[in-house]
Every structure is written in C-alpha cells, then in structure tokens.
C-alpha cells in the first residue's frame, strides 16, 4: 500500500514541478526562435509555405527544449521529494540502491 501512495505522491510532485517548467520552456524556446529568426516559427510542418531549414530548425530547438524540460522536471521533483519525504523518489535507481544497501546492512548485522 505504501508503494502505491509513494508512486501517486511522486506523480503529483512531478506534475506540480513540471507545469511551471513546461510554461517557462515554451516561452524560452519561442524567445530563442525570435532572437535567431524573424517571424513566427513554423508550427505546422505540413504547411506548404514553411521552408525546410525553418522547419528543421524549429524541430531541433523544440527537441532541445523538451529534453531540458524533462531533465529539470525530473531533477527538481526529486529534490522536492527528498526535502518533503526524506527518502529517494520511488522507482529511481538511487531508491533501488538505497533499498539494496539497507537489506545488505541488515543481513550483515545478523
């Protein structure tokens, strides 16, 4: 039961951290595009008026934004989780390692 509660709590923390990160990322990507190219970005690749270079540039810039946002969200949510709960977030490699270390210490203490 605790595992289900931890996973639900982790999802909530991730959403709470991820929403502002997503908003800021969108604004940052749009500002980066505006600084590099005049005009609006080609949001629809199927638009016949969109040029290949612009479409590929927008796709690359958007992909970098998504990757950075995912990293910031995951790391930020993990930091918040550790400060609230005092343990590693559920389902992470750090949590699994901590669990193994605890069971190994218990076995060696016997």
- pLDDT tens, 54-92? 999 999 999 999 999 999 999 999 999 999 999 999 887
Question: Which pLDDT belongs to residue 47?
Answer: 84
Report the number of distinct structural domains present in the chain.
1
**pLDDT level of residue 46 (50, 70, 90 thresholds):** confident
Percent of the chain with pLDDT over 90: 56
pLDDT greater than 70 at residue 98: no
Cα-based distances in Å from 60 to 7, 49, 57, 73: 33, 19, 5, 20
Task: Give the whole-angstrom CA distance, residue 17 versus residue 11.
Answer: 10
Among candidate residues 55, 70, 66, 76, the one with its CA nearest the CA of residue 10: 76
Enclosing domain of residue 80: 2-109
User: 48 exposed, middle or buried (CB, 10 Å; 0-12, 13-18, 19+)?
Assistant: exposed
pTM of the shown model: 0.76
């Amino acid at each position: 039961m605790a595992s289900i509660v931890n996973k639900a709590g982790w999802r909530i923390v991730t959403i709470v951290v991820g929403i502002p990160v997503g908003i800021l990322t969108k604004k940052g990507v749009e500002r980066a595009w505006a600084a590099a190219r005049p005009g609006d970005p080609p949001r629809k690749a199927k638009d016949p008026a969109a040029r290949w270079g612009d479409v590929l540039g927008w796709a690359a810039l958007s992909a970098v934004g998504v990757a950075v946002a995912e990293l910031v969200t995951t790391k930020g949510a993990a930091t918040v989780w550790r400060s609230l709960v005092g343990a590693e977030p559920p389902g992470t490699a750090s949590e699994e390692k901590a669990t193994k270390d605890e069971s190994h210490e218990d076995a060696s203490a016997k």
